[in-house]
Amino acid sequence: MSRHADFQELLAILDLDLVDENTFVGRHPSKNPVRTFGGQMMAQAFVAASRSLKYPTPPSALSVHFIAGGDPEQDLEFHVVRLRDERRFANRRVDVMQNGQLLTTALVSYLAGGKGLEHGIEPPQIDDPEAVLPIDELLRGYEEVVPHFVSALRPIEWRYTNDPAWVMRDKGGRLGHNRVWMTAQGAMPDDPVLHAAALVYSSDTTVLDSIITTHGLSWGYDRIFAVTTNHTVWFHRPIRFDDWVLYSTTSPVAADSRGLGSGHFFDRSGQPLATVVQEGIVKHFP
CATH of the domain at 267: 2.40.160.210
What's the pLDDT at 4?
Answer: 84
The per-residue pLDDT for 3 is 75
Domain count, the chain: 1
Q: Is residue 227 part of a domain?
A: yes
Residue 121 counted as domain residue: no
Instruction: Report the C-alpha gap between 263 and 210 in whole angstroms.
Output: 10
Reduced to 3 states (helix: H, G, I; strand: E, B; else coil), residue 22 is coil
As a whole number of angstroms, the distance between CA 27 and CA 25 comes to: 7
Q: Is 103:69 a contact under the CB 8 Å cutoff?
A: yes
Handedness of CA 196, 197, 198, 200 (dihedral sign): positive
Supply the range of the domain harboring residue 150.
Answer: 3-113+128-284
In this structure, what DSSP letter does residue 144 have? T
- In 3D space, the residue among 87, 92, 13, 83 whose CA is nearest the CA of residue 49 turns out to be 92
pLDDT digits (tens, 9 = 90+) for 248-271: 999 999 999 999 999 999 999 999
Instruction: Return the axis-axis angle of helices 192-202 and 3-14, rounded to nearest 10°.
Output: 110
* Residue 12 pLDDT: 97
Q: Does residue 122 lie within any of the structural domains?
A: no
Residue 120 lies in a domain: no
179 C-beta neighbours (distance < 10 Å), count: 22
Specify if 20 maps to a domain.
Answer: yes
CA distance 102 to 236: 30
Residue 143 is assigned to a structural domain of this protein:
yes
How long, in residues, is the chain?
Answer: 286
Does residue 30 lie within any of the structural domains? yes
Are 165 and 218 in contact, with CB atoms under 8 Å apart? yes
Return the closest-CA partner of residue 215 out of 160, 159, 259, 262: 259
Q: Which of 109, 155, 143 is nearest to 9 (CA)?
A: 155
Cα R_g (the chain), whole angstroms: 18
| pLDDT tens per residue across all 286 residues of the chain | 467 899 999 999 999 999 999 999 999 999 999 999 999 999 999 999 999 999 999 999 999 999 999 999 999 999 999 999 999 999 999 999 999 999 999 999 999 998 999 999 999 999 999 999 999 999 999 999 999 999 999 999 999 999 999 999 999 999 999 999 999 999 999 999 999 999 999 999 999 999 999 999 999 999 999 999 999 999 999 999 999 999 999 999 999 999 999 999 999 999 999 999 999 999 999 9
Query: Which residues are CB-neighbours of 196 under 8 A, at least 6 positions away?
Result: 46, 50, 59, 235, 239
**pLDDT at site 235:** 98
Specify if 119 maps to a domain.
Answer: no
